[in-house]
Structure 1
Amino acid sequence: MTTNRQAPHGERVASKSTSCMGNRSMPWGSQPIVTDPALHPIIRASGMMNPLDIASHADPPPPIVAETVRLHFPFPARAASLVPLAGDASNRRYYRLFLDDSPLPSVILMQLAEPEAFKASEEAIGTSAEPIDELPFINVHRHLSAAGITVPTLYWYDQARGLLYLEDFGDTSLLTACAKDIQHQRTWYPQAIDLLVHMQLHATHSLGHRCLALTRSFDISLFLWEFDHFLEYGIAARQGSPLATREEHRIREEFRKIVHWLASQPYVFTHRDYHSRNLMVSRGQIGVLDFQDALMGPPTYDLASLLRDSYIRLEEGIVDMLLDRYREQMMQSVSAEMQDRLLLADHEAFRRLFDFTSIQRNLKAVGRFVYIERVKHNPKFLADIPRTLAYVQNTLQKYSELHRLYELLRPYIPEWH
């Protein structure tokens, strides 16, 4: 990766990718959207591109985009057309920018809600002793690239306008590749485990520059905030009335027991959303997206995101195989002392830690899905709630010490009746 340098109107972050994976897109897919202007917020920041200007199937790119491609790309190219992409749950917007006279057919244009929006993350990020003075996407991107993780090349960052020009990762997410074929799960998920092991081993320590993810962590207050997010939206907002104070206190006491155990584990680099929509597959490789909220956390957090995924259910036999693969690879790579601290040699203890982590991760996801529907008026994730709650129900019923929490939550979760 080339050294970053400042330019009058932007920043070229890389001239070549960590690896070449061809023409690929973000996990929201490549289907163009024709939008109702009434649904678009007006972006008021001076000089920024208004999404209303490019809401049709394939509009000519705005002049500033065409000029950026011509003047600042690290390869010859001419901007041909711009297609809006169906977005994710964030405030960012994405477009596929088709190119002519270029070695690449397209790139992805990511538009921030505001040029300086990075100063306030959309996710709670835990404690951090250092101020955020750089776009987290770029900061963590640099770190993961140095660690040998395949992330989309950033060809240009127009900081004044909040526009990032990214490598196009094509149309095939891990979810798309594996949703309908169990054999594909057996092919791709072991690679996702191998990539996770590599990331935890090589991105957990400083690589010669300041990485935001290493300065913030899942402390007890953040774990509890995520549980409270579930209580606020996954229960109170969903049922239309708040929990009784006494019941909320009892539930939070059970949550606190889980949190203290999770927070006592050794911490590693944690992507935070390491799941099938954020992993892209192409040409025998997996690339990683949506890493800007990374922080330090227990090793089982990203494992739970991947193997208890809200968007796809893996057979238990595959989950068992993948957990064993993770343990075996980590045991080959860390000291005997660290093996003991990570519970790697004890199959049952490690599985228990994974299961307890998945409760926290899945309940947070349910709260987030309802929040996105109620606050952002985006209902697309509601259909994934029953699958996510089924994971939690099965785990709470599996361990006798979790039965009390199950009985406390059951009256408020219709899927468990």
Structure 2
Amino acid sequence: MDTTLQHAIEAAVTTLWGKETAITQIAPLTGDASSRSYARIHLHGNGPATTVVMMLAGSALPISSDELAVFQEPLKELPYINVHRFLQPLGVHVPETYYDGSKAGFLLLEDIGDLPLREAAQGQSVADIERLYRKAIDQLVLLQVEGSKRRTDACIAFQQAFDHRLFLWEFEHFIEWGLEKREGKALSAAEGKELRAMFDDIATRLDTAPRFLNHRDYHSWNLFVQDGEIRVIDFQDALLAPATYDLETLLNDRDTPVVITPTLEQSLVDYYHKTWHERGGATIDHAQLWEEYNLCLLQKASKVVGRFYYLELEKKKTGYSRYIPPTLATIRRVVARLPRYRRLQEIIATHFPE
């Protein structure tokens, strides 16, 4: 941390909690795929025992993910701050924002601990895993149903949507990084044509699905367990998408299927369907929901393979390749549920032999 940033943080701490509160330690935290970095600040005095500083990348105002930069006018504040302002009154368990120092390159946030949902589920009984993930679904349905009911243009999440263009962008990400850049050669014309035809068909079907507010990255590493409750982070890319987009991410991302077996997955999809309607969500037929869920899952898993190779090869962020085999296994599993796209698995098998 450079001196200028540290002085700005010290000034923010004084503004918030008085001159009697001092920083006693700054400990870096391990981040995920984000370009942001984090540190835990230990305090002595009138403030909380700890706070987390989010250090923003670069000097310009971030516009969330590059592929979402579709706003008609330049943003006047961080997407994180904008979406946080919308989610908190809904009752979504987002961390408190103590201080907006975005002009100086940082935010001070509530410390929600070090226990991601995926780690909390490891080694637990099926009943305890289901209990934890039901709580995550409760938060998700709250965000989706209540959030969609309170739609407002003041929240940037309602200005962007998972549409045909964005679904295809993510499929192309898979082709570019998961296949061509990884192998160092272009796809054959025949394979490229077949893949893009199937991807266009999936994107078209998902583009016609009703859209609701979604977190966009609602996986088990963006959900923390604190005092038995689910805390939600990394929501700045929220947007409109099919209802089941976040659900399939929650139940399948990376190696989540290690703890969410197919039987438990089905039980949790059923719970989501029940909870969605109990909260007053728009009527969705269960068979329709299951089909949409699997289409979203196939699309997202394909994107994730490309994304993880992109992070490894282009961004030099190590550690993501270990999640590629379970993600490919997810693609094989979901294609078995969608026989219309069986040819996709045949093509992928030639590039990723088991």
State whether TM-score is above 0.5. yes
Superposed CA deviations along residues 335-376 of structure 1, whole A, max 9, x for unmatched, are 7xx31xxxx33x333212211110001111111111111111
Give the match for residue 123 of structure 2.
180
Unaligned 5+ segments in structure 1 are 1-48, 55-60
| 8 Å Cα contact 1:126-1:217 kept in structure 2 | no
Give the match for residue 113 of structure 1.
57
Distance in 2 (alpha carbons) for counterparts of 1:329 and 1:374? 41
Give the match for residue 145 of structure 2.
201
Q: Given the alignment of the two structures, is residue 363 of structure 1 paired with residue 302 of structure 2, yes or no?
A: yes
Give the match for residue 137 of structure 1.
80
Secondary structure of the equivalent of 2:48? Answer: coil
Give the match for residue 90 of structure 2.
147
Q: Given the alignment of the two structures, is residue 373 of structure 1 paired with residue 325 of structure 2, yes or no?
A: no
Superposed CA deviations along residues 258-279 of structure 1, whole A, max 9, x for unmatched, are 1111111110111111010000
Q: Given the alignment of the two structures, is residue 215 of structure 1 paired with residue 159 of structure 2, yes or no?
A: yes
Q: Given the alignment of the two structures, is residue 350 of structure 1 paired with residue 296 of structure 2, yes or no?
A: no
Q: Given the alignment of the two structures, is residue 311 of structure 1 paired with residue 265 of structure 2, yes or no?
A: no
From the superposition, tell whether residues 97 and 353 of structure 1 become closer, same or farther in structure 2 (CA, over 3 Å).
Answer: same
Aligned-residue offset at 1:316 = 1.3
Distance in 2 (alpha carbons) for counterparts of 1:333 and 1:85? 36
Distance in 1 (alpha carbons) for counterparts of 2:62 and 2:227? 33
Which amino acid in the other structure matches residue 75 of structure 2?
Answer: I
Superposed CA deviations along residues 156-207 of structure 1, whole A, max 9, x for unmatched, are 1113311110100101110110022234312200111111111111112446
From the superposition, tell whether residues 319 and 219 of structure 1 become closer, same or farther in structure 2 (CA, over 3 Å).
Answer: same
Secondary structure of the equivalent of 1:108? Answer: strand
From the superposition, tell whether residues 236 and 69 of structure 1 become closer, same or farther in structure 2 (CA, over 3 Å).
Answer: same
Give the match for residue 384 of structure 1.
323
Which amino acid in the other structure matches residue 368 of structure 1?
Answer: R
Which one of the candidate residues 135, 145, 162 is aligned to 1:191? 135
RMSD between superposed Cα atoms in Å:
2.1
Distance in 2 (alpha carbons) for counterparts of 1:352 and 1:285? 30
Which one of the candidate residues 345, 350, 354 is aligned to 1:406? 345
Aligned-residue offset at 1:324 = 0.6
Give the match for residue 32 of structure 1.
none
From the superposition, tell whether residues 134 and 63 of structure 1 become closer, same or farther in structure 2 (CA, over 3 Å).
Answer: closer
Secondary structure of the equivalent of 1:305? Answer: helix
* Structure 1 or 2: more helix by fraction: 2
Give the match for residue 208 of structure 2.
264
Secondary structure of the equivalent of 1:157? Answer: strand
| 8 Å Cα contact 1:73-1:156 kept in structure 2 | no
From the superposition, tell whether residues 115 and 153 of structure 1 become closer, same or farther in structure 2 (CA, over 3 Å).
Answer: farther
From the superposition, tell whether residues 77 and 203 of structure 1 become closer, same or farther in structure 2 (CA, over 3 Å).
Answer: farther
From the superposition, tell whether residues 324 and 130 of structure 1 become closer, same or farther in structure 2 (CA, over 3 Å).
Answer: farther
Aligned-residue offset at 1:126 = 6.6
Alignment of 1:266-345 (within 5 A): 266-313=210-257, 314-334=260-280, 338-339=282-283, 344-345=284-285
Superposed CA deviations along residues 64-98 of structure 1, whole A, max 9, x for unmatched, are 32222112348963211101112211111111100
| 8 Å Cα contact 2:17-2:47 kept in structure 1 | no
**Count, aligned residues:** 351
Which amino acid in the other structure matches residue 140 of structure 2?
Answer: L
Unaligned 5+ segments in structure 2 are none
